[in-house]
Amino acid sequence: MNVQYFLELFGTFFFAISGALAVKDSEHDWFGASFMGFIVAIGGGTLRDLLLDSHPLVWIGDINFVYAIIAGVIATKVLFRLLERLRRTLLLFDTLGISLFTILGVEKALSLGVRPEIAAIMGMFSAVMGGVIRDTLTNETPVIFRKEIYASACLGGAVSYLLLEIFFDVNRQLNALISASIIISLRLLAVRYNLSLPRFYKNES
């Protein structure tokens, strides 16, 4: 087991926390919180693997990912008050998670022989679709439809990874570090300075 594997488990753990925290204002029981944590943690990767016809799904082929999700849900219950005070820290972990899963998604798609353009989309799906499902289930506007830079940061990092690999043959680990840093920087700067992409439609009034 290499460092990348443990980082993927780490990201799964914190995505599960994000999902379990999403039900804090609702009358959900342990099962509801666990289900939400599970959906957020594996939703994007599962959708990616289904679209790419890659089997078995990651969490089915490796039980450690299920254990990471369970640990995240339990940690949310035990450390709830502390986690509530660390919202900014969780934002950072979420940002680290989406940057990691974007790159992992791109690499997996490329390993299955798809075109680079599709690999970029699969990388973005890996990172954000779990959050989209979470927001939908909790009656929130999905994060990718809000006025903030989120999925576009992932897509930018995915494109960066592909350009560095295809045209410059950058070392894989260095490429992953650079591209993940781009995603992290875009996301945190967008939150810090309230940046957003131009609106598709503008009100004429």
Which has the higher per-residue pLDDT, 116 or 133? Answer: 116
Q: Sorting pLDDT into bands at 50, 70 and 90, what band is 105?
A: very high
Listed range (161-170, 180-189, 195-204) with the worst mean pLDDT: 195-204
Identify the band that residue 154 occupies on the pLDDT scale cut at 50, 70 and 90. Answer: very high
Residue 109 lies in a domain: yes
pLDDT given for residue 27 in this prediction: 59
Q: Residue 94: its pLDDT value, please?
A: 82
Q: Which residue has the higher pLDDT, 205 or 199?
A: 199
In a domain, 205, yes or no: no
pLDDT at residue 162 in the model:
97
Is residue 203 one of the residues assigned to a domain? no
Q: Give me the number of domains the chain comprises.
A: 1
Q: What residues make up the domain containing 140?
A: 3-193
Is there a contact between 65 and 9 (Cβ–Cβ < 8 Å)? yes
pLDDT higher than threshold 60 for residue 109: yes
pLDDT at res. 28: 64
User: What average pLDDT does range 133-160 have in this prediction?
Assistant: 88
- Mean pLDDT, the chain, whole residue set: 88
In a domain, 132, yes or no: yes
Section 172-186 average pLDDT: 94
Is 157 inside a domain boundary? yes
Residue 58 domain-assigned (yes or no) = yes
> Is the per-residue pLDDT at 102 higher than 90?
yes
| Residue 137 within a domain | yes
Does residue 198 lie in a domain region? no
Least reliable range by pLDDT among 6-15, 18-27, 120-129 = 18-27
